[in-house]
């Protein structure tokens, strides 16, 4: 079947993705702080990828790496301002679309002002990493990921499912955007890609008033799971799409300052 893959071996539950590392908790970081930082750094990686001119799949893989890293390591131990560009560097190689580390260093400087809320130190030289830092962090990330770099994305099953359901063309771009935004959540770590794709189709069909009930019944999928995924995406839109900079700054300021 189109959704068969070994991704289920790597899926995590809600408790695992929401866990706050002890060293982070000791610095006062809460689950909400961690959630906000992951959302903002996902946006940071996306803009970094745009300036580095990489494919969307590379960005998606980088975000998945970033989120998986912090289910295993702490923000205090692994500075996200270095982890983010390194994840993009690693993803570009894993997706055979290599970007030079030097270019990423340039791009981080270019977008720094846009994400000023992530750089809270009054010292302008703080958190300015170079190529050597990215290459060193790459090795640490590989170890943290157990050298497993395969990420299964919802994009391919989405296209197949849209074709299978004879969905109108206006559903394609809409559902594609929903899938993109799903990476602002931890869903990619928790559910098989085809389930995320189905949830995006479900949201789109409801909002566009397209009756897909019989089609979903034919698929024989657990609609409770589909609806749970859909609710997570909608919660992002309702509560986290626009996050005040001061909320991000308050969370990031709890991290160690590195010069």
Confidence of residue 125 (pLDDT cuts 50, 70, 90): low
Q: What architecture is the 155-239 domain classified under in CATH?
A: Orthogonal Bundle (1.10)
| Domains 11-150+243-252 and 155-239 in one fold | yes
CA dihedral of residues 100, 106, 111, 115 (deg, nearest 10): 90
136-184 tens-digit pLDDT: 999 999 999 999 999 999 999 999 999 999 888 889 999 999 999 999 9
Query: Phi, psi at residue 89, to the nearest 5°?
Result: -65, -45
Give the model's pLDDT for residue 8: 58
Locate 8 and state its tokens.
Answer: 């289920």
Contact 51, 111 (CB under 8 A): yes
Whether the pLDDT of residue 1 is over 80: the answer is: no
Mean pLDDT computed over every residue of the chain: 92
Domain segments of the chain as ranges: 11-150+243-252, 155-239
Q: Is the dihedral of CA 152, 154, 155, 156 positive or negative?
A: positive
> 247: Cβ–Cβ under 8 A, 6 or more apart, which residues?
36
In contact, 66 and 95? CB cutoff 8 Å:
no
Judge whether 230 and 199 are in contact, CB under 8 Å: yes
CB 7 within 8 A of CB 193: yes
Whether residue 204 has pLDDT greater than 60 = yes
CATH class, range 11-150+243-252: mainly alpha
Which among 128, 89, 94, 98 has a CA at the least distance from the CA of 111?
Answer: 128
Confidence tier at 75 by pLDDT (50, 70, 90): very high
The stretch 59-79 carries a mean pLDDT of: 97
pTM for the full predicted model: 0.94
In angstroms, the Cα distances linking 182 to 60, 80, 85, 191, 196 are 10, 20, 20, 11, 8
| DSSP, res 147 | T
């Amino acid at each position: 079947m189109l959704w068969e893959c070994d991704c289920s071996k790597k899926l995590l539950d809600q408790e695992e993705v929401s866990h706050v590392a002890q060293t982070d908790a000791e610095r006062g970081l809460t689950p909400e702080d961690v959630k906000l930082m992951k959302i903002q750094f996902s946006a940071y990686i996306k803009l970094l990828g745009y300036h580095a001119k990489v494919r969307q799949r590379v960005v998606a893989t980088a975000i998945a790496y970033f989120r998986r890293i912090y289910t295993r390591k702490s923000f205090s131990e692994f500075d996200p301002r270095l982890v983010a560009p390194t994840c993009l560097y690693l993803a570009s190689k894993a997706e055979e679309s290599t970007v030079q580390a030097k270019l990423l260093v340039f791009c981080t400087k270019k977008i720094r002002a846009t994400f000023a809320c992530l750089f809270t130190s009054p010292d302008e030289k703080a958190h300015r990493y170079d190529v050597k830092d990215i290459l060193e962090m790459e090795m640490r990330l590989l170890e943290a990921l157990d050298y497993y770099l395969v990420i299964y994305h919802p994009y391919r099953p989405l296209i197949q499912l849209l074709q299978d359901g004879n969905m109108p063309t206006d559903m394609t771009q809409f559902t594609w955007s929903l899938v993109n935004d799903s990476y602002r959540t931890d869903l990619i770590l928790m559910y098989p890609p085809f389930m995320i794709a189905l949830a995006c189709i479900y949201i789109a069909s409801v909002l566009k008033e397209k009756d897909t009930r019989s089609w979903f019944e034919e698929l024989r999928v657990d609609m409770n799971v589909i609806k749970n995924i859909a609710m997570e995406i909608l919660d992002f839109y309702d509560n986290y799409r626009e996050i005040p900079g001061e909320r991000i700054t308050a969370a990031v300021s709890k991290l160690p300052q590195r010069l």
